[in-house]
Amino acid sequence: MINTLRVVTLIVNNQKDLYTIAELADMVGGEVIGDLDLEIRGAAGVKEAGRKQITFAENEKVLRLAEESEAAAIIVAQNITGCKKTIIRVKNPRLAYAIVSSLFVPDVFYKSGRAPSAVISESAEIGQNVSIHPMVVIEDDVVIGDNSILAPGVFVGKGSRIGSNTIIHPNVVIEYNSIIGSNVIIHGGTVIGSDGYGFVSTEEGHYKIPQTGNVIIEDDVEIGANVTIDRGTSGPTVIGKGTKIDNLVQIGHNVRIGPECLIIAQVGIAGSTELGKRVVLAGKTGVVGHIKIADNTTVAAMSTVTKSIPPASFYSGNPAQSHKDELKEQAALRKLPLLIKTIKEMEKRIRILESELQNESQNFNN
Amino acid sequence: MINTLRVVTLIVNNQKDLYTIAELADMVGGEVIGDLDLEIRGAAGVKEAGRKQITFAENEKVLRLAEESEAAAIIVAQNITGCKKTIIRVKNPRLAYAIVSSLFVPDVFYKSGRAPSAVISESAEIGQNVSIHPMVVIEDDVVIGDNSILAPGVFVGKGSRIGSNTIIHPNVVIEYNSIIGSNVIIHGGTVIGSDGYGFVSTEEGHYKIPQTGNVIIEDDVEIGANVTIDRGTSGPTVIGKGTKIDNLVQIGHNVRIGPECLIIAQVGIAGSTELGKRVVLAGKTGVVGHIKIADNTTVAAMSTVTKSIPPASFYSGNPAQSHKDELKEQAALRKLPLLIKTIKEMEKRIRILESELQNESQNFNN
Amino acid sequence: MINTLRVVTLIVNNQKDLYTIAELADMVGGEVIGDLDLEIRGAAGVKEAGRKQITFAENEKVLRLAEESEAAAIIVAQNITGCKKTIIRVKNPRLAYAIVSSLFVPDVFYKSGRAPSAVISESAEIGQNVSIHPMVVIEDDVVIGDNSILAPGVFVGKGSRIGSNTIIHPNVVIEYNSIIGSNVIIHGGTVIGSDGYGFVSTEEGHYKIPQTGNVIIEDDVEIGANVTIDRGTSGPTVIGKGTKIDNLVQIGHNVRIGPECLIIAQVGIAGSTELGKRVVLAGKTGVVGHIKIADNTTVAAMSTVTKSIPPASFYSGNPAQSHKDELKEQAALRKLPLLIKTIKEMEKRIRILESELQNESQNFNN
């Protein structure tokens, strides 16, 4: 089993321009077959890998492509025995590739110190090695942990806290009192802590219910671009540890998302709904408010979840139901136009039967 | 009946750290049962309310929770007679709570004056007590009314007008010639006045139709985060008085939204469509262009509205139809897989009947 | 046939406050009937056109409105013979209107030079007549072509290249190594080059697959507001020449969109999917990853495309299928509730037939 924490430490401490295959194999717990001293300067997919780069192959078909590619070496599964090129054999090639590839990611946002144009409150507590880019605004009483990066145009509202090793991409808005953990990544244009959508409708109009809660984003969360996560009405909206959120997702006030969930692009989750651990919501799915989706449940793309879902379910449709039932309905629906013809014919046959039987009966009675 | 205007004036003039229950009851037109001098320092939901805070209960179940909570006092409906804690009895507890809660909202964006880093055209007319934060850009001929707030990174394009007491959250983009009313709130990352999507398709490509209209946002409107409202092709796109728009909503060019509509997250409305008064579009609903949705109509979540809808309707589905019809179809669809079995059995029975009848007939004829 | 390139050159070289009808007719290859010296100072739709403006009419009904409007002149089709006002007769009135209207678009974002507050790397190569607004950040090794405009708050990451005559609206984020062509328009708040959504799920959590590819946006592309286009995992995400993308669209990593596609608001396209030439995806449609949508195909609004689509198709539904089949199913579904009644009645009639036949048979046998 790969110890991810050890790997991350290795990466942070060791980042350099080239590695030998032996060094890479050691990091991912793999075995080299071929030239141990081969030098690797990058990692790329099988279509893009160049002469000094390593790629990976999860199956025989991709392995053949990788052998024909320019790649210097290939990460493969343990059952692969022979290859024209130097290989690293590992339990999980995709994971090993992800780790090796991490070594070569350009560190484009790290710049030590504070840009002169950044506006930083005197009451803010900024950790060691924090990188504060131009046009950043940090308000009163903000606390930022070591090694975190605030890219250009980021706003951090009053009283917010950001952990260590967190990267906030350009033009992200973090409203007041937000709490953001360590090793978090937030992509460009995302808004954390906008007011929840809460109004009391009266005859005079819709009166705003103040939204005085906040947003808590736990460690190891990644959030895509132009996402919106509303603050709680009172109490927090929570994104659990290790959850990964894609672009243009909407999270309503007081939603609680468990650890390690996967929330794909353009999903929307309405207020006060709770997601358990490792819930997967595929693209564009909508979830109504005040329900619970239990651990390990997956909901297919473009579904509408209107009531709570038990653990380890696979749901789909609008309104969402067990995927098995949804598929049955879809299949039945596909047959429906033909079915209507069949029914019309059956009705005709019944009419004929009825009239024949009547005749028969009359014949008999005559 | 609560006079909201009076309440708002009270709030603006009286904001302070603590209020007695008697003061709060006076503001919301309520009656205290219990300690009139009890001091309240905040308001929160029943799950979050602390020792010095007031909460509210709309039904008996929540009232029991509120009694067991740390809350100092509870806002309740007029039919509640007894309670372990001090209560304020009102006609509409949720509305009274919203008003009381407004008293304690932290004023995080108000800062008097103009940040040195803001770039403000000399031809801009800025009212009294306007708060212009760092990194704001205000272009030529802009007019901004008294007490409005432009948070960090806001852009206000040439010739735009913003009323009084309006709050524009960080990194909002207001393109040229936009007109925004008073008491408006626009949340982070929203873009007002982007070009409408208009092209003439020719064999050479799609030729852009210039979008030279603008956007008009009337008083008391609230717009969520990362919303997009396109400017008209010529003429305006209009958001009517008191309408509330949630996050990630798309409003096309020349759309006209009536007063007091509720447009929930991720809704999209295509060009030139008109919404009447108090229309509600639930989350993720799409509306095609050039149609009318009449007053007081509600459309359920994830619907696709493809034609005009009469007043006071409740529509749902794709394509949207009367919700009653949609429910009937959904229920019928649920039965369809079983129905197919039934039909197959029926066909078999008809075949047997046909063959028996033939036999019979032969028997008879023999 | 109009030569668009010639027209664009005319516009750039000739922009002025007023034109005679004869000048306008020359630009659009049209024929004037009426006063050749009539001066025109603007263009607008038939509802908005004022006294000195020209409008257009594509049919008789609009022509009647245009005649009653304040407009000074009307662009009409070649079959129109008489009109109360001066007309320009052309092959394609909408296209001619678009061209004429382009002459009068206010140039609100053009400002020569570099704003003092912009932060521009010394290693950036900036072309002639580039307009760099306040709060812009341009990082190392960026190249920007002549006449391009970077509106306030734009971020251009390390190593990115932008062509000539390109307009980037306020608060757009362009992450490192992006390549953006000439004559491109990107509206406010859009994020180009955010990380693709790629993780390896292990028992310990979801391990990030580094996203080291980039985004390539070809010439003549227009991208709406608050759009997100992810960088490739390795290799590029490509938006083909002349494609027009509406607001709030999500484009996943390694997607390749062909030339002259139309992608309407709130569409989402998952990773590695390819679109051919002139594909149209209507609003809110979702497309799964790793499929191909061939040339000239149109997909209706709110559809879910789950498998590849052949050329020149018209698809709709969830899952998407041939629109003809989808319509048949929809029509059948509408009949389903009545059908269930019919089937119940048929079953009853069969039961009666069966019992009658049994009686008959018994009668016969007796």
The CA distances from residue A39 to A53, B16, C282, C366, in Å, are: 9, 68, 49, 99
Q: Do A337 and C331 touch (CB under 8 A)?
A: yes
Residues of chain B neighbouring A199 (CB-CB closer than 8 A): 244, 262
Which among A144, A146, A132 is positioned nearest to A178, based on CA atoms?
A144
**Cα–Cα distance for residue pair C2/B37, rounded to 1 Å:** 80
Mean pLDDT of chain B, nearest integer: 93
Q: Quick one: C5 exposed, middle or buried, by C-beta within 10 A (0-12, 13-18, 19+)?
A: exposed
Residues of chain A neighbouring B184 (CB-CB closer than 8 A): none
pLDDT value, residue B1: 38
How does C228-259 read in b/e, with b if 16+ C-beta sit within 10 Å? Answer: bbbbbbbbbbbbbbbbbbbbbbbbbbbbbbbb
DSSP state of B7: H
The answer to whether A154 and A172 are in contact (CB under 8 A) is yes
**Cα–Cα distance for residue pair B50/B73, rounded to 1 Å:** 10
Q: Do B135 and A157 touch (CB under 8 A)?
A: no
C203 C-beta neighbours (distance < 10 Å), count: 6
Q: Do A135 and C139 touch (CB under 8 A)?
A: no
Kindly give the confidence (pLDDT) of every residue in chain B, 366 residues in length, as a single tens digit, with 9 standing for 90 and above. Answer: 344 444 444 455 556 789 999 999 999 999 999 999 999 999 999 999 999 999 999 999 999 999 999 999 999 999 888 889 999 999 999 999 999 999 998 888 888 899 999 999 999 999 999 999 999 999 999 999 999 999 999 999 999 999 999 999 999 999 999 999 999 999 999 999 999 999 999 999 999 999 999 999 999 999 999 999 999 999 999 999 999 999 999 999 999 999 999 999 999 999 999 999 999 999 999 999 999 999 999 999 999 999 999 999 999 999 999 999 999 999 999 999 898 988 999 889 888 888 888 887 777 666
How close is the nearest chain A Cα to the Cα of C183, in Å?
A: 24
CB pairs under 8 A between A and C: 211
CA dihedral for A28, A31, A33, A34, sign (positive or negative): positive
Residue that the structure tokens 């709110």 belong to: C302
How close is the nearest chain A Cα to the Cα of C349, in Å?
A: 7
The answer to whether C63 and C80 are in contact (CB under 8 A) is yes
pLDDT at C198 over 50: yes
Which among B304, A320, B326 is positioned nearest to C284, based on CA atoms?
B304
pLDDT value, residue C15: 65
pLDDT value, residue A2: 47
Residues of chain A neighbouring C190 (CB-CB closer than 8 A): 189
Q: Do B137 and C337 touch (CB under 8 A)?
A: no
**C 326-365 → A contacts, CB under 8 A:** 328-329, 331-333, 335-336, 339, 342-343, 346, 349-350, 353, 356-357, 360, 363-364
* Secondary element (H or E) of residue B83: none
Residues of chain B neighbouring A336 (CB-CB closer than 8 A): 336
Q: Do C175 and A152 touch (CB under 8 A)?
A: no
Q: What is the dihedral of CA A116, A117, A118, A121, to 10 degrees?
A: 80
Q: How crowded is the C-beta side of A295, counted as CA atoms within 13 Å?
A: 2
pLDDT at C123 over 90: yes
Q: Do C153 and B135 touch (CB under 8 A)?
A: yes
Residues of chain C neighbouring A187 (CB-CB closer than 8 A): 191, 194-195
- Whether the CB of C117 is below 8 Å from some CB of chain B: the reply is yes
- In tens, the pLDDT along C343-362 reads 999 889 888 888 888 887 77
Q: Do C157 and A48 touch (CB under 8 A)?
A: no
**A 246-275 → C contacts, CB under 8 A:** 246-248, 260, 262, 264-266
How close is the nearest chain A Cα to the Cα of B288, in Å?
A: 18
How close is the nearest chain B Cα to the Cα of C203, in Å?
A: 33
Amino acid at A67: E
**C-alpha angle B151/C136/A186, rounded to 5°?**
65
Q: Do C268 and A248 touch (CB under 8 A)?
A: yes
Q: Alpha helix locations (H) across A199-302?
A: none
Amino acid at A5: L
SS3 sequence of chain C: CCCHHHHHHHHHHHCCCCEEHHHHHHHCCCEEECCCCCEECEECCCCCCCCCEEEECCCHHHHHHHHHCCCCEEEEECCCCCCCCEEEEECCHHHHHHHHHHCCCCCCCCCCEECCCCEECCCCEECCCCEECCCCEECCCCEECCCCEECCCCEECCCCEECCCCEECCCCEECCCCEECCCCEECCCCEEEECCCCEEEECCEEEECCCCCEEEECCCCEECCCCEEECCCCCEEEECCCCEECCCCEECCCCEECCCCEECCCCEECCCCEECCCCEECCCCEECCCCEECCCCEECCCCEECCCECCCCEEECCCCEEHHHHHHHHHHHHHHHHHHHHHHHHHHHHHHHHHHHHHHHHHHHC
DSSP state of A262: E
- Whether the CB of A196 is below 8 Å from some CB of chain B: the reply is no
Residue that the structure tokens 């007091």 belong to: B260
Q: In this structure, are strands C86-90 and C31-33 parallel, antiparallel, or unpaired?
A: antiparallel
- In tens, the pLDDT along C294-344 reads 999 999 999 999 999 999 999 999 999 999 999 999 999 999 988 898 899
- Whether the CB of C289 is below 8 Å from some CB of chain B: the reply is no
Residues of chain A below pLDDT 70: 1-15, 361, 364-366
CB pairs under 8 A between B and C: 212
How close is the nearest chain C Cα to the Cα of A213, in Å?
A: 26
Which chains touch B (3+ CB pairs under 8 A)? A, C
Which among A92, A85, A91, A72 is positioned nearest to A33, based on CA atoms?
A85
The CA distances from residue B203 to B207, C4, C280, in Å, are: 10, 11, 15
The answer to whether A244 and A256 are in contact (CB under 8 A) is no
pLDDT value, residue B42: 94
- In tens, the pLDDT along B247-256 reads 999 999 999 9
As for the ipTM of the complex, it is 0.94
Which chains touch C (3+ CB pairs under 8 A)? A, B
Structure tokens of C65?
Answer: 């409105």
Residues of chain A neighbouring C332 (CB-CB closer than 8 A): 333, 336-337, 339-340
Which residue in B206, B253, B290, B323 is the catalytic one? B253
Q: In this structure, are strands A125-126 and B214-217 parallel, antiparallel, or unpaired?
A: unpaired
Residues of chain B neighbouring A206 (CB-CB closer than 8 A): 242, 244, 260, 262
Residue of chain B whose Cα is closest to the Cα of C333: B329
For C118, residues 6+ apart whose C-beta sits below 8 A from its C-beta are C132, C133, C134, C135, C136, C137, C138, C150
CA dihedral for C25, C26, C30, C32, sign (positive or negative): positive
How close is the nearest chain A Cα to the Cα of C250, in Å?
A: 7
**C-alpha angle A146/A152/A157, rounded to 5°?**
65
pLDDT value, residue B303: 97
Q: Which residues pair with C244 in a beta bridge?
A: C222, C262
pLDDT value, residue B365: 63
Q: Quick one: B112 exposed, middle or buried, by C-beta within 10 A (0-12, 13-18, 19+)?
A: exposed
pLDDT value, residue C130: 96
Among B137, B190, B207, the residue with its CB nearest the CB of C98 is B207
